[in-house]
Amino acid sequence: MPETYRLVNRRISGSQYAKNMAVLAASIAAGAGGMVAAGVAAGKIASVAGTTVAPGVGTVVGAVGGFVGGAVGTLVAGTVGGILHEDDAVAMSRLLNALVSVMASEYLLDQKEMDAVVDALGKVSQHTLTDLFETVRSSDKQEDVLRAFLAPIFDEVVSGREAFKLPTAQEIEEAVEDLAEEDGTEEAPESDGALPICIPEGWSPTDDFPQVSDDARGYVWDDEGTYAVMVVGSIEHDASLFVVDDVVSGVRLCLSDEQGLISAEHGMSARGVPYWETIVKMRLEAGVQYCLTIQLERADAVAALTAIAEENGVTGVRDSAVYNLAKDGGMIDGVDGGWLIDPIESSAVDRFPMNLSERESFDEMFPLHPLSELRSLAAFIKAQN
């Protein structure tokens, strides 16, 4: 029998032999087989196959027909054989699917070029594909065989690209210099001789903000996770945190029952400017609001920045996720033991205290959370001022 001959000559696996013998008479070409089986190239080829192939008994159409001809049709008719083993053709098509996806990335194909690859595969004869699959099946270097088959197709598709000229060393150097000058920042207007505060890109100017000083400027931030308003200006040194003996105690005295301290930090910026930074949380009807204050001590005034941020959209995702994570990890004892913490003291002291999820170590997991974005803003301010 042909199937037995192919088994003896290592043209088919033992598992495939068993299946073919079980359902040989019912073999058809099914539309769910071949390249469609694994959704080649992020569904690109699958979508083409689904719209251009009308499968029927014995149907062979381009690439899909070549991959599914004969045995793959047992996905429909081969209930008995399907329980035994998976088709060789399915396994081969999965390997081919993966390699097409990889090579599409390697060749940096755009949508039009991917369409061309699909079209070229659709024109390959069934006989060629049958030979290819049998060669792959008996080879110890299956990827090399498939690459050798696919490479001419990919090369032909990209041969029509416009030639790309690499930039010269001088052009690269000039581009880097321009980037360094731009520095990705926006400067707030100078006032009364005080140096401006550099803020990150993405903050939009607004006229709707508290006028805390004559030179104050307002900005808005709005993304899928955070809505924030920021005020930048200058204040008198005597009205700043730099004249307060105990900033932490002073902030706590001003907190209401609906507020809590997240952080209080004093140090020198990357450019040697003394700063104070505090973050306070406040309970809202739905969610939490965070307030960042940064003050930079200049020679004749204090540059001050205040940003208030709250969650956009669904609230409480960070709290819930970290709570469950901490509970599963045994970090929380009882209802909230270990959940409520303090940034300075060994236990929570505020009426609306900081919780475990608000630790900076979780910012990377929730980059769009308002607390994460305020800390990112603070890091930029301290690095650029």
pLDDT, tens digit (0-9, with 9 covering 90-100), for 306-328:
999 999 887 888 998 898 888 88
Does residue 167 form part of some domain? Answer: no
Residues 149 and 186 in one domain: no
Q: Does residue 172 lie in a domain region?
A: no
Average pLDDT over residues 195-221: 81
Residue 133 placed within a domain: yes
Would residue 276 count as lying in a domain? yes
Q: Is residue 164 part of a domain?
A: no
Q: What does pLDDT average to over the chain?
A: 74
Higher pLDDT, 190 or 22: 22
For the beta carbon of residue 267, count every other beta carbon within 10 angstroms. Answer: 10
The amino acid occupying position 46 is A
End-to-end CA distance of the chain: 82
Are 132 and 217 in a shared domain?
no
- Residue 72 in any domain: the answer is yes
Same domain flag for 124 and 241: no
**Pair 99, 242 in one domain:** no
Provide the 3-class DSSP secondary structure of residue 60.
coil
- CATH number of domain containing 291: 3.40.1000
- The share of the chain scoring above pLDDT 90, in percent, equals 35
Do the beta carbons of residue 289 and residue 373 sit within 8 Å? no
* Dihedral over alpha carbons 64, 65, 67, 73 (to 10 degrees): 110
Distance, in Å, from the CA atom of 283 to the CA atom of 266, rounded to the nearest integer, reads 25
Contact 154, 163 (CB under 8 A): no
92 with 205, same domain: the answer is no
What is the number of structural domains in the chain?
2
**Among 143, 158, 173, residue at a domain's last position:** 158
Looking at the fold, whether 215 and 91 belong to one and the same domain comes out as: no
> Quick one: 231 and 152 in the same domain?
no
**Are residues 324 and 210 both part of a single domain?**
yes
127 and 207 in one domain?
no
Sign of the CA dihedral with 107 first, then 111, 117, and 118 last: positive
Same domain, residue pair 148 and 192: no
d(CA 121, CA 216): 64
Residues 210, 295 share a domain: yes
Q: pLDDT value at position 140? A: 84
Mean pLDDT of 95-101: 76
Residue 197's SS3 state is coil
Residue-number span of the structural domain to which 48 is assigned: 2-158
Q: Are 306 and 231 in contact (CB under 8 A)?
A: yes
- Confidence at 190, pLDDT banded by 50, 70, 90: very low
Same domain for 136 and 251, yes or no, is no
